[in-house]
Amino acid sequence: MTVWITKADVPESYYFRSSGYIANRDMVYFSSELGIKPLKYSRNKIMNTPEFSTDTVIENIISPISPGDIVFVQFPTWLNYGFENLLIRKLISLPDVKVSLLLWDVISWLFDDSDRDFTRDNEFQLMNQCQLIISPNEKMTNRLVEDGGVKTKIISMGLSDYYCKTPPCFKKEFRKELTFVGTLEKTDFSNYHGNFLINLIGNPKDLTEEEKNQKNLKVVGALDNSKIPSYLNAGFGLVSYQNKNKIIEKSYFGGAERYGQFNNPLKLSLYLSSGLPVVVDRYSPHAERIEKEGLGLVISELNDIDEVLGCIDNLQYNTMTDNVWNYSIKLRSGFFSKNILRKALLYLTSESDCYIN
């Protein structure tokens, strides 16, 4: 029996800024330490494949799989709808092959924060045809059941790991400022009127003119992902999806604010793996962990930043960095990834030849 995990084979440049591909790559890396083999597909080649060749391409992808194997599908696959749907359905139909969806994002909810019936959406239909779902966290798990109508067994990862080739600097400088990394159009920074500086790492085109001209915002610009950890050497990492005013210019990800109550932001893992304490929204699925483990601070809205940072001194900050460092070691070694994969394999099979370190 062989255990597989899907890997989107893309040019190295895709990993400079795309969190989806970074998570996909890192999970393959961590799973390889459990003896799990990559099931590769070339994203660019597939996207340029003529429709009449679709079946042939997918058959080639799944050809190494044999009866009795297990396949973890990292979902979304970042293929177009037709290819993704056909690939997963082909895997599900293979005789005596068990398929688990390793869920990074629920695209429907990222774009739609309505209360409509999602149960008929293709994402949830596919989940109900697999043997197991690996969810980012417990809050997402509960919503999958309640709003997605998922009946398949679900287990929760907790936090997403983040692989850093270069170990981060242990000592962080105590400064009352924050750094935000990511897609700048998901958060309304124009609503921030605090005195403490927020450094914004991302595409400036995603900011409104008002945000670009705010004195409490410093637009750093987009950076290659590999260079960001060395930039995170002081203050706090910010995770917030607040868009209270529902600014039209920031409505592309229409469900982002509500989605922040359920997802595992890769920026959170980036900060923690880099040894940087964090500031997260109170409705975040990780707020309780952050408070309980002393990994940072929690805010109800962006303008709470002055109050919560204003109360912190150097001693408290150093205690947080010590706590974060312990988490950093876990995240960079794939602790949460390997733990959930072990649980998944134990659920999917009792075969003695299932290789787990």
Choices 3.30.450.40, 1.10.10.10, 3.40.50.2000, 1.20.20.10: CATH for 173-332: 3.40.50.2000
**Residue 246: what pLDDT?**
64
| Tens-place pLDDT, residues 170-208 | 789 999 999 999 999 999 999 899 999 999 999 999 999
CA gap 219, 203 in Å, rounded: 9
| pTM of this structure | 0.93
Domains 3-159+334-348 and 173-332 share a fold: yes
The structure tokens 């679709």 sit at 54
Give Cβ neighbours of residue 199 (< 8 Å, ≥ 6 apart): 177, 178, 179, 180, 218, 220
Residue 170 DSSP symbol: S
Q: Which helix (H) or strand (E) holds 328?
A: helix 314-333
Give Cβ neighbours of residue 67 (< 8 Å, ≥ 6 apart): 94, 95, 96, 97
**Residue 276: what pLDDT?**
96
* The pLDDT of residue 324 is above 60: yes
Of the given ranges (28-32, 80-84, 144-148, 257-261), which has the lowest mean pLDDT?
Answer: 80-84
For 116-152, the three-class secondary structure string (H helix, E strand, C coil) is CCCCCCHHHHHHCCCCEEEECCHHHHHHHHHCCCCCC
CA gap 58, 219 in Å, rounded: 43
Detail the DSSP E strand segments found in the chain.
3-9, 37-42, 70-75, 98-103, 132-135, 154-156, 173-181, 198-201, 217-219, 234-239, 278-281, 296-299
Q: Sheet holding 37-42: strands in order across?
A: 37-42, 3-9, 70-75, 98-103, 132-135, 154-156
| Tens-place pLDDT, residues 233-274 | 999 999 999 987 666 556 678 899 999 999 999 999 999 999
Q: Where are the domains of the chain?
A: 3-159+334-348, 173-332
Enumerate long-range contacts of 87-92, CB under 8 Å, 24 or more apart: 87/41, 87/58, 87/61, 87/62, 88/126, 88/130, 89/126, 89/129, 90/58, 90/59, 90/62, 91/62, 91/65, 92/126, 92/129, 92/130
**CA within 13 Å, CB half, 187:** 24
Is residue 77 within 8 Å of 6, Cβ to Cβ? yes
What token pair was written down for 96?
A: 């005596």
| Tens-place pLDDT, residues 44-55 | 888 887 876 888
Grouping H, G, I as helix, E, B as strand and the rest as coil, residue 179 is strand
Question: Considering the domain 3-159+334-348 in this protein, what is its CATH number?
Answer: 3.40.50.2000
